[in-house]
């Protein structure tokens, strides 16, 4: 029994029993992959897959029973390599972070700059994706850390730590009636006020969009959403053109760069939490743990609010 055979079984499951895709991932031939599977089944004395001819349909009962053990063995072997690499080259390597455009553009520059000062020899790779893709990248080991507001904290296979809390805000051109209303301080903006104008905001599943929709639904209101986008920069561009007012994440408004727009704070959409996540059981390298701590220094505390913080220090 070899680690390669165990990885072949894991990758076959990950690729939904498509041997061609699993072989491509492992840089081997499909025939070679099939031979390794047969050799492993012969050694274990049982079939690991349900088959229809040569086609794999799913895991057998035995395959389902041993898959968690195989995942742990592979994870432990990766952790051993990580520990050895940390001892040999504590300040060298690569840190891959999967995150959304909003986080990469507005939230991460300061911690990344601080990180690069401490670890100039570490190559930092940012993969921008939607929250579901971020989760899959982390689970597959293609990213060390995932950062997003949605999805991550809901996955039991991930350790999710709070990064920061934020609220949505309304944006409008400076000469817009809502901007003038807010500037006068004579009245507080309401959901009904927003519904009187065309609205531009995030796509479904991005940056708290579900919370926005739920707030309007609970109030019995239906906003006229004329355009939705993946990130705040696109939303701000079309708001500045006068196509409507916008709802974006508060941290995405930059007073210096967004001088044609007004930011109107509101609190009826509630608070959102952006999460930092990594694979449960995966031992992060020292510089990866430092990066997380640069994002949120409170993660180091022993506060009951952060029971998952201990996971930073052990696999």
CATH of the domain at 292: 3.40.190.10
At 82 the pLDDT is 67
At 265 the pLDDT is 86
Strands (E), the chain: 49-52, 55-59, 93-99, 122-128, 145-148, 158-173, 199-202, 225-229, 245-249, 261-265, 271-279
Lookup: tokens for 222: 């239906």
Residues 104 and 128 placed together within one structural domain of the fold: yes
Give backbone dihedrals phi and psi of 225, rounded to 5 degrees, phi first. Answer: -85, 105
Whether 95 and 112 have beta carbons less than 8 Å apart is answered as: no
Lookup: tokens for 99: 């995150």
Nearest to 151 by CA among 130, 168, 128: 130
Crossing angle, helix 30-44 and helix 3-14, to 10 degrees?
A: 110
Q: Where are the alpha helices (DSSP H) in 89-108?
A: 101-102
- Domain containing 247: what range? 165-272
Give backbone dihedrals phi and psi of 45, rounded to 5 degrees, phi first. Answer: 75, 30
Lookup: tokens for 220: 């019995």
Residues 38 and 67 placed together within one structural domain of the fold: yes
Residues 267 and 289 placed together within one structural domain of the fold: no
| pTM, rounded to two decimals | 0.71
CATH number for position 64: 1.10.10.10
Give the number of domains in the chain. 3
Give backbone dihedrals phi and psi of 155, rounded to 5 degrees, phi first. Answer: -95, 120
Residues 117 and 18 placed together within one structural domain of the fold: no
Residues 73 and 98 placed together within one structural domain of the fold: no
Lookup: tokens for 73: 């063995």
Calpha distance 79→311 (Å, rounded): 14
* Cβ atoms within 10 Å, residue 198: 16
Q: Which long-range contacts does 233-239 make (Cβ < 8 Å, 24+ apart)?
A: 233/101, 233/105, 235/171, 235/200, 235/201, 235/202, 236/171, 236/261, 238/200, 239/171, 239/172, 239/173, 239/200
Q: What does each C-alpha distance from 146 to 90, 103, 111, 169, 264 come to in angstroms?
A: 22, 11, 15, 25, 30
Residues 44 and 81 placed together within one structural domain of the fold: yes
pLDDT along the chain (315 residues), means of 10: 83 84 83 85 86 83 85 76 66 89 92 95 93 92 92 91 93 90 70 94 87 94 94 94 95 92 90 92 85 85 52 50
Domain boundary among 86, 105, 126: 86
Q: What DSSP letter does each residue of 47-78 carry, written as one string?
A: --EEEETTEEEEE-HHHHHHHHHHHHHHHHHH
At 214 the pLDDT is 93
Give backbone dihedrals phi and psi of 164, rounded to 5 degrees, phi first. Answer: -160, 165
Lookup: tokens for 236: 């701000």
Residues 300 and 152 placed together within one structural domain of the fold: yes
Residues 24 and 155 placed together within one structural domain of the fold: no
Q: Output Rg (C-alpha) for the chain, integer angstroms.
A: 24
Residues 132 and 106 placed together within one structural domain of the fold: yes
Residues 47 and 104 placed together within one structural domain of the fold: no
Calpha distance 12→34 (Å, rounded): 10
Residues 170 and 267 placed together within one structural domain of the fold: yes
Residues 74 and 103 placed together within one structural domain of the fold: no
Whether 239 and 171 have beta carbons less than 8 Å apart is answered as: yes
Cβ neighbourhood burial of 109 (10 Å; 0-12, 13-18, 19+): exposed
At 315 the pLDDT is 45
């Amino acid at each position: 029994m070899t680690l390669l055979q165990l990885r072949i079984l894991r990758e076959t499951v990950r690729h939904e029993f498509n041997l061609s895709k699993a072989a491509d991932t492992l840089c081997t031939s499909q025939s070679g992959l099939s031979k390794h599977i047969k050799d492993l089944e012969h050694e274990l004395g049982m079939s690991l897959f349900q088959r229809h001819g040569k086609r794999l349909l799913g895991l057998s009962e035995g395959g389902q029973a041993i898959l968690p053990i195989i995942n742990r063995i592979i994870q432990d072997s990766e952790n051993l390599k990580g520990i050895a690499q940390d001892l040999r080259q504590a300040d060298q390597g690569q840190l891959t972070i999967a995150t959304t455009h909003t986080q990469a553009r507005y939230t991460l520059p300061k911690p990344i700059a601080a990180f690069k000062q401490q670890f100039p020899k570490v190559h930092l790779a940012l993969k921008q994706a939607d929250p579901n893709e971020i989760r899959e990248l982390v689970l597959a080991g293609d990213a060390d850390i995932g950062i997003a507001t949605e999805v991550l904290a809901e996955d039991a296979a991930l350790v999710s730590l709070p990064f920061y809390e934020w609220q949505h805000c309304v944006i409008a051109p400076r000469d817009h009636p809502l901007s003038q209303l807010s500037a006068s301080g004579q009245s507080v903006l309401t959901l009904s006020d927003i519904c009187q104008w065309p609205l531009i905001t995030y796509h479904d599943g991005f940056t708290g969009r579900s919370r926005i929709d739920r707030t309007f639904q609970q109030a019995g209101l239906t906003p006229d959403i004329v355009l939705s986008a993946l990130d705040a920069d696109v939303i701000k561009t079309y708001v500045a053109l006068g196509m409507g007012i916008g709802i974006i994440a508060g941290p995405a408004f930059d007073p210096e760069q967004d001088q044609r727009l007004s930011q109107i704070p509101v609190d009826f959409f509630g608070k959102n939490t952006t999460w930092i996540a990594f694979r449960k059981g995966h031992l992060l390298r020292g510089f990866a743990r430092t990066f997380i701590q640069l994002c949120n220094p409170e993660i180091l505390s022993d506060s009951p609010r952060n029971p998952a913080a201990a996971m930073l220090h052990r696999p």
